[in-house]
Amino acid sequence: MVENGMFDLSGRVACVTGGNGGLGLGMAKAYVEQNASVAIIGRSQAKLDSARAELEKLSGSEKVMALQCDVTDRDAVQAALEQITGRFGSLDILVNNAGVNRRADEPHMLSAEDWEYVIDANLTSIHNVTSLAFPYMKERGRGKIINIGSMMSIFATGYAPAYAASKGGVVQYTKSCAVAWMKDNVQVNAILPGWIVTEMTNQFKEAFPDRYAMIVGRTPAGRWGQPADLGGTAVFLASSASDFVTGTAIPVDGGYSVW
């Protein structure tokens, strides 16, 4: 652990939605390694229990919470935030990571139900959580909000139109909040993960094996990313090192977006 450094998160409280696996758990691990108290939110209790055990091995049980919550339900989000601040006393860092995908061969083939499901889970939920979390940060006089976008925030795709639309919206929502809340000393930024090995992308591999292999050839790093690859950027954006950084969208993609 790093102590008393620019990236040290001692005394900070982080909430990571979708923190019970994949990218969210990778970022939560990075936060506890930098001395933060961390609350993870997710829908699956079994995954929450497993993730909590992993985090407690790094930091001890007194600095970890795991809460079952559907981020599309504002009442449930409010209750979760009250539990987090009730136990830890504050909320300094919010990572809006929860997300889903539904695919179709072409946009017109995506059902209205799938469209609404993805937009609600990936975009509306960010507004739910952010708008309810912001007052805690404003009262504290500081805060860091990190929204997780995607390569689809930059590139279009014919087979995931709702996902691409939602992730493009994440970047614009990030900029709107950044403009509004810098006066409150709350910085709002986005991370745009490239192709990272997660449960969601494993489903992609099964559905589109040829495209999966092509991604490695397109990526200058020559590999798919791992959840831990987001840790450094997530810590930077959560720490005092980024106090003059807001409204940005940082690709973490092994060079995929520049080639």
Residues annotated catalytic, as ranges: 163
Q: Is 144 within 8 Å of 187 (Cβ atoms)?
A: yes
Give 216's contacts (C-beta < 8 A, 6+ positions apart). 222, 223, 224
Q: Where are the alpha helices (DSSP H) in 141-198?
A: 161-181
Residues 6 or more apart whose Cβ sits within 8 Å of residue 116? none
Question: In terms of C-beta distances under 8 Å and separation of at least 24 residues, what long-range contacts does 209-216 make, across chains too?
Answer: 215/256
Sorted by sequence, the CB contacts under 8 Å of residue 57 that are 6+ apart come out as none
The Cα–Cα gap between 13 and 63 comes to: 9
Q: Please work out, in degrees rounded to the nearest 5, the angle formed at the alpha carbon of residue 53 by the alpha carbons of 50 and 59.
A: 145
Dist CA 238 CA 207 (whole Å): 35
